Amino acid sequence: MALDELVELIPGMALILDPMGQIHACNQAAQEHYKESLRAILRHPNSRAILHEALATSPSTSPHAIHTAIVHLDVPIKHTIRLAMRHLSGPQGRDKMVLTLLTDHSTEQAMDRMRADFIAHASHELRTPLASLSGFIDLLKDNEGTTDQASRTLYLQIMSQQATRMQRLVERLLYLSHLQLRSHNRPHTRLDVGELFALIVGEVLPRFTDNTRNLTVEQEEDHLTLLADEDEMIQLFLNLIENAIRYGTTPDHTLQVRLCARREGTGILLSVSDNGPGIAPHHLPRLTERFYRVTDNKQTNPAEVEEGTGLGLAIVQQIVERHKGHLRFLSPPHEGTICRIWLPAAPAL
């Protein structure tokens, strides 16, 4: 059997290398997963070391000898790869070849880091309201019978606010976890964008009843259809509109929030924009990080910023990824903020 045929029969990512470390055969799985990064992996000192070890091991005396190494690759993206090499046996020519199996551990390592960061951030976020609740409970217990009614009412009001904050944080954490569990299951339900916008407007209209905020909806053509989960898409837009209100509302200024939809290429471009003070450029790459908040906007109401959990845009990002779309934030200085979401259009019936 030719080596090209042999390597394609191997499940997973497999290569056959010559004594110089050049690729003699490579199966489709390895080509599709690593593309141009394959050569960088094989040039790594750890890869070269076990290649020499494998070539120095005789298949006749050590037929089951396998040499392994871990390679960390930082560019073009971070990868952690386990290589396993074995000297091939067989006729002349083939006995100078080394079979190499690659196993990518990048996802597992990234998940471990995310899990550790998640626990650290969640603990920090819960500690503040818990400390506030504990403090006021102790205060009421220590001054039982002597606290006047006005102070007691104030303490209970603050405790209620902190309890609500904790409840909201826990609910969002659970929702984000739920999305991650379903991240590989792409929705297949047809959803009309016009009907989606009507549902969203019905949800947020009470926030736009006075003269300080206006909401407009624009759709370039009828019958724009997505393959999407209706509840998740509503949650996505509610989070974006909530952010526009929280960070875009300023004194003596009418906030204009606009929902737009138009066809772009093979998909549909959805956007939420506002005319608020905008977001500093250094914040934009980090907006979808869990628990990340923009807190340097001096014009924004500090009380409203404090209410945020820092999870809204992380949820938006997770929903967009589940729907195989793309998310981008634009914020020209002093010209408001635009969030653009591109999602694949549903195929024609």
Give the pLDDT confidence of 217-250 residue by residue, as tens digits. Answer: 999 888 899 999 999 999 999 999 998 998 888 8
- pLDDT of 302 > 60? The answer is no
Q: Are 331 and 279 in contact (CB under 8 A)?
A: yes
Q: What's phi and psi for 89, nearest 5 deg?
A: -110, 160
User: Is 227 in a helix, a strand, or coil?
Assistant: strand
Q: Which residues in 247-280 are b (16+ Cβ under 10 Å) and which e?
A: bbbbeeeebbbbbbbeeeeebbbbbbbbbbbbbe
- Considering the chain, what is the average pLDDT of its residues? 85
**pLDDT value for 301:** 46
Q: What is the pTM of this model?
A: 0.60
Q: Which residue has the higher pLDDT, 139 or 195?
A: 195
243-293 pLDDT, tens digit each: 899 888 888 889 999 999 999 999 999 999 999 888 888 888 888 887 787
- pLDDT of 200 > 90? The answer is yes
Q: What percent of the chain has pLDDT over 70?
A: 92
Q: Which residues in 46-71 are b (16+ Cβ under 10 Å) and which e?
A: ebeebbebbbebeeeeeeeeebebeb
Q: What percent of the chain has pLDDT over 90?
A: 42
